[in-house]
Structure 1
């Protein structure tokens, strides 16, 4: 049962959605604005929805693409409402069979999108925005001295739902759309994403946090991250199927899934540093008093700011919920090469290990605040990099000993063979069962 079945539209809270991008080359502006448009088309009161595009690179190309998206949204959002479009990302919709309709309105909308896409791609290839296309006053923020690592803060409100002119072609209010790029200077650490940060997903999440009986202590609702560009056999396991379907679900049963940095709906009070108590009751019209940056928002000083932020929130008495709907609520792009996969895993490993050897080590920091099983779940993340050491020994040492005719494993005649064979068979059978259950193939 979704939230519209149990709540009036007027009771729904305001929702802020952040889309983070950092590199116009690795994350093409045309792809980014399709994500923005899909979020603006959420099935949610538009006057209560604000979408923020947080551009870490401060790219003029991304800003131009966002300006194009703001104009296209005036036609795309009414089109989605009339035809119940799914998925609501125009790039995904028009690339599938659903976008091949002979209907004139479909054809016109597809042509409009392709034209917008062509303009954005042409500017991206050129590497700069031609002067005649700089029609928005916000382009004055960009100068010849600016770089992706050295620029002033930029905030441009492209659509303000409070203004009478912010309506689509049907006269319906548009969601607020804001482009922002935080300040970056070479002499200051920029704290990675922490300094920036399906159409029914919002309503699904609100069913948990607005539950009058059990929703008061829920800090965030975590959705799995799906990917639309993985291969059938997924050679590098970038689809994260086992993590999404088995690992995170199991952690949810032990006290709550961690915050994984994307596809997550946060309760504002929890993210702003509030501590939960039994007397705490949500007041959706109340604004939380902001505290200092040590207690509010995402945590600085760690490359996996999402994991440490979720840990600290839970140690304040809050809990989380993991929700994995049949139809994915969030789709992204996974690394497609071994080099990019290794770079991503290296970043995750370093960040997780950094948490383990910091004052926020889950085993000690969560003592008295989290159950032992919950803390051990966090430790699995933290010691992920260390696990490579016994794995390396397991792959190399037995092979080297076999070259000398020495076996490190019990022989079939040994009484130790039965428990060894049982553990090996059980572990591999369980792993294979998980892969066959949730993966497309067994390769």
Structure 2
């Protein structure tokens, strides 16, 4: 992380200066197209050559980090052993002065082989040689600020101090924080869902952005303007009722024939577009821009006419004095609102920093009140206030919020944040939001927003499919079954979620269909006693319907017939 932050100091301004796409350096430097196309600045070739050399050196340093850390740790460990042996000799020599006839044997010195940092302190997380309190499932919470929050005003570079000319280029870098939640043997860390909830709490205390991007570790940003396009939905008129903006998944490194249908084109370019016309697409676990306040478990704004805020905070009879942002911080003037605020510690935990950040995030996420039709908006310029600097107390509070005991007796994982209890926590989390009346949006950009890697062999693909099917069965036999959805979820959206939970059971019918011909051969009787007109009519209607669905899927998703047929074949294999 420290090496990446150091390289970002030159890479990010270089991308801004020359409009580099994609912003992933590994992907950019391995592009097969002409890298100089549409580049008109005369110093681009020189800048690119220097940045490429710096990136190669960065990769060499990164690859050598494990060995460097091991050598450093061995050196510090040897020093500690020498100190311990010296203290033991001094202790034994002191005992010998008291009793000349006593010969105390030297006991071997046992010192845990720790992982040391450059500042001669122990790494608080997992050590190379696992030890008590320093293993993958047993370590303290860690938060380290790698890059401090940027200034409010643009910071322009110059010709001096950098390897490239950054005159009139904004050289600010976004805040970068390393977060590792606490893990202890007696606590269930809830895998990805628990990690995401810990990040939500830590980010609320340290930065409190009203919108959050969820991206898996095997994905990267391919289009730097994708977030802006997603924000356009969030900040548009009526966009305050959007809980998340889902982007399609695009993959690299797949063989041209795509024999395992890893692209999922029918799903991402057909089904998800269709859901966009209902209450919105399902959350697929990555490539998603969230509204923070929706993850907190609040209802959308205007869920009831008497509510003016999306958190269920009504507007008091008396207008509060001061600016809009001040009034947002004072929400809870009425008795009902004060009662709601009083329940926040039970719902979100006992962090006062986190609770105080909730109304601020709600206000910052409102659309601009630049038109009479905009309800629950904020005036332009209301956010131009200085941000509090990070201090030790803020970081300490953030570390407390990622402790393994923080979620005890709270609603995290039940009604707040990512939902626990299923291997497909992404689908359940999106379902809970839609069930509260929120809607989502499917954003397909001209240039792929994100790209990632997909399983390249059949074994990994089958493991992935098994995980999805297991999660669907868990959803079907849980309280998250769409049959029990609230009246706030639209009927067709409910059917879509019901299909998510039911589709693994279709494997039973496929197995029956596979065995029926064999049974007919053994018994000498056909599965249908007589081919009458009614049977042939039903068969014709079903065949025409299936063909029509196939034609519509091919047309809407814009894929070739061969690719569609391959996905249908793989889908049948999954159900078997």
Q: Structures share a fold, TM > 0.5?
A: yes
Moved more, 241-250 or 430-439: 430-439
Contact 1:410 1:417 in 2 (8 A): no
Q: For residue 411 of structure 1, report the CA deviation from its aligned partner.
A: 8.0
Residues 2-36 of structure 1: CA distance to partner in whole angstroms, max 9, x if unpaired? Answer: xxxxxxxxxxxxxxxxxxxxxxxxxxxxxxxxxxx
Unaligned runs of 5+ in 1: 1-65
Pick closer, same or farther for the CA change 1:182–1:363 going to 2, 3 Å.
same
Match of 2:294 in 1: 270
Moved more, 348-357 or 331-340: 348-357
Q: For residue 227 of structure 1, report the CA deviation from its aligned partner.
A: 0.8
**Residues in 1 aligned to 2:544 and 2:119: alpha-carbon distance in whole angstroms:** 64
Match of 1:175 in 2: 174
Match of 2:230 in 1: 205
Match of 1:381 in 2: 500
**Residues in 1 aligned to 2:147 and 2:120: alpha-carbon distance in whole angstroms:** 13
Contact 2:436 2:486 in 1 (8 A): no
1:259 aligns with 2:258: no
Match of 2:26 in 1: 91
Match of 1:31 in 2: none
**Residues in 1 aligned to 2:502 and 2:69: alpha-carbon distance in whole angstroms:** 44
**Residues in 2 aligned to 1:424 and 1:159: alpha-carbon distance in whole angstroms:** 61
Moved more, 413-422 or 233-242: 413-422
**Residues in 1 aligned to 2:69 and 2:533: alpha-carbon distance in whole angstroms:** 72
Contact 1:277 1:317 in 2 (8 A): no
Pick closer, same or farther for the CA change 1:251–1:205 going to 2, 3 Å.
same
Contact 2:249 2:450 in 1 (8 A): yes
Q: For residue 176 of structure 1, report the CA deviation from its aligned partner.
A: 0.7
Please say which structure displays the higher CA radius of gyration.
Answer: 2
Equivalent position SS for 2:422: coil
1:193 aligns with 2:187: no
1:394 aligns with 2:494: no
Q: For residue 172 of structure 1, report the CA deviation from its aligned partner.
A: 2.1
**Residues in 2 aligned to 1:383 and 1:136: alpha-carbon distance in whole angstroms:** 56
Unaligned runs of 5+ in 2: 37-43, 74-115, 197-222, 311-323, 330-356, 362-409, 567-576
Pick closer, same or farther for the CA change 1:70–1:402 going to 2, 3 Å.
farther
1:230 aligns with 2:254: yes
Q: For residue 186 of structure 1, report the CA deviation from its aligned partner.
A: 3.0
Pick closer, same or farther for the CA change 1:422–1:362 going to 2, 3 Å.
closer
1:116 aligns with 2:58: yes
Pick closer, same or farther for the CA change 1:114–1:134 going to 2, 3 Å.
farther
Aligned-residue RMSD, C-alpha = 3.2
Number of positions where the alignment pairs a residue of Structure 1 with one of Structure 2? 374
Contact 1:159 1:178 in 2 (8 A): yes
Q: For residue 425 of structure 1, report the CA deviation from its aligned partner.
A: 5.0
Q: For residue 300 of structure 1, report the CA deviation from its aligned partner.
A: 1.8
Residues 219-276 of structure 1: CA distance to partner in whole angstroms, max 9, x if unpaired? Answer: 1111111111222221111111111111111112121112211111111111112222
Q: For residue 177 of structure 1, report the CA deviation from its aligned partner.
A: 0.9
Moved more, 293-302 or 97-106: 97-106
Q: For residue 402 of structure 1, report the CA deviation from its aligned partner.
A: 4.3
Equivalent residues in 2 for 1:22-421, closer than 5 Å: 66-98=1-33, 103-123=45-65, 130-131=71-72, 134-135=117-118, 140-142=123-125, 143=127, 144=129, 145=131, 146-162=134-150, 169=162, 170=166, 172-197=171-196, 198-211=223-236, 213-278=237-302, 279-281=307-309, 287-288=357-358, 292-293=411-412, 294-364=414-484, 366-402=485-521, 405-408=524-527, 415-421=534-540
Equivalent position SS for 1:363: helix
Residues 287-310 of structure 1: CA distance to partner in whole angstroms, max 9, x if unpaired? Answer: 425984243211122221111111
Contact 1:99 1:106 in 2 (8 A): no
**Residues in 2 aligned to 1:375 and 1:151: alpha-carbon distance in whole angstroms:** 42
**Residues in 1 aligned to 2:172 and 2:122: alpha-carbon distance in whole angstroms:** 25
